[in-house]
Amino acid sequence: MAYLEKHSTTLRDDDARLAGVAKHLTPVLHNLIALGVNGKQAHWHVRGENFVSVHEFLDEIIAHAQDNADTIAERLVALGLAVDARINTVAEKSGNPAMLVGFQQAEVTVREMIAQLDATLDALYSAVDGLERIDPVSQDLVIAAAQLFDKDRWFLNSHYAK
């Protein structure tokens, strides 16, 4: 119990540490939300070869994005940090590239979603590095997400890998 009392107080009172956590987790949150929204856009508009498998797998990626966004947001709030996850903020601050509008062939959709995953993974790996010394608990959450999205990227890329 003494460990928890000591470290919980440290986390609540250490403004520099909390600013560092916010600095590294907020971009992760924005990228995860963008991945989920853009994934739904792709999910609705995919056509052509491998339609069913791409369409259904996009739902898995979307669920992973939404679940991890919730976990990251809850971590920030548990530390006493407010989050701004409004769609206009996410659109402005995420590193995710714009998606094509309208129906796309599955190969194009896969390529676009890999770019979405790459942007999200960039934010995740940046946070892994940045959180190492300031908040290992937050870093663990980010590492788990990175592991999941690395696997999602591999599965999606395998649809058209040569």
* In-domain check, residue 162: no
In this prediction the pTM is: 0.91
Number of domains in the chain: 1
Pull the structure tokens for residue 27.
């971009």
Is 12 part of any domain?
yes
Give the Cα-Cα-Cα angle 149, 84, 27 (nearest 5 degrees): 35
3-class secondary structure, 14: coil
User: Which pLDDT tens digit goes with each residue over 119-142?
Assistant: 999 999 999 999 999 999 999 999
Residue 52: which H helix or E strand, with range? helix 51-78
What would the mean pLDDT of 77-85 be, rounded to a whole number? 96
Share the mean pLDDT of the chain.
92
Q: Is 77 inside any structural domain? A: yes
Which domain CATH number covers 49? 1.20.1260.10
Examine the pLDDT at 159 and tell me if it is beyond 90. no
Secondary structure string (H, E, C) spanning 70-106: HHHHHHHHHCCCCCCCCHHHHHHHCCCCCCCCCCEEH
160 or 122: whose pLDDT is higher?
122
Q: How far apart are CA 10 and CA 24, in angstroms?
A: 19
In a domain, 144, yes or no: yes
Residue 56 has pLDDT above 60, yes or no: yes
Q: Summarize the confidence of residues 27-48 as an average pLDDT.
A: 97
Query: What confidence category does residue 5 fall into, taking pLDDT thresholds of 50, 70 and 90?
Result: low
pLDDT band at 114 (very low <50, low <70, confident <90, very high): very high
Mean pLDDT, range 77-99, rounded to an integer: 95
- Give 17-35 pLDDT, tens digit per residue: 999 999 999 999 999 999 9
Domain that holds residue 119: 2-157
Q: Cα–chain-centroid distance for residue 72?
A: 9
